[in-house]
């Protein structure tokens, strides 16, 4: 579905979900940022203090994968809601940030430097 779903459609779905519940009043920039960090922390909690072997086992466990998927969806929900409410075009922001990072982290200085996490890619 990632290959067919657009960010615009996802934003519209989140907007409708929230407006149907009259949640606009609760979605200030501060509250959405807090929600984003809270959900990201819940994702981190799944992996906290785990060895690489344990992480691999977590990623292979269907129940734990569902938990991870729930947290990823929650994080993306807050990103989409923030961008929808406050006029950020996520695609443009990603492009702009990648251009900044291309200058900051040139390929020739990074590529081949660390193979530690290559088994997960």
Domain residue extents for the chain: 7-110
Spatial distance between the Cα atoms of 74 and 57, rounded to a whole number of angstroms = 23
7-110, which class in CATH? mainly alpha
Q: What Å distances lie between residue 121 and 46, 64, 88, 89, 115, CA to CA?
A: 19, 19, 29, 28, 10
Structure token digits, residue 75 = 């994080």
Enter the DSSP assignment of 4.
T
pTM for this predicted structure: 0.85
**pLDDT, tens digit only, all 121 positions of the chain:** 888 899 999 999 999 999 999 999 999 999 999 999 999 999 999 999 999 999 999 999 999 999 999 999 999 999 999 999 999 999 999 999 999 999 998 888 877 776 665 555 4
Q: What Å distances lie between residue 40 and 8, 47, 86, 92, CA to CA?
A: 22, 11, 21, 23
């Amino acid at each position: 579905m990632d290959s067919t779903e657009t960010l615009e459609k996802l934003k519209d779905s989140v907007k409708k979900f929230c407006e149907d519940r009259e949640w606009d009043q609760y979605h200030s920039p501060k509250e959405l940022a807090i929600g984003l960090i809270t959900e990201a922390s819940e994702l981190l909690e799944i992996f906290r203090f785990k060895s690489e072997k344990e992480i691999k086992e977590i990623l292979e466990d269907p129940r734990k994968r569902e938990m991870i998927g729930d947290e990823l969806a929650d994080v993306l929900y807050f990103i989409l809601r923030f961008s929808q409410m406050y006029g950020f075009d996520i695609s443009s922001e990603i492009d702009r940030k990648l251009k900044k990072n291309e200058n900051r982290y040139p390929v020739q200085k990074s590529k081949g430097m660390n193979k530690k996490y290559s088994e997960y890619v």
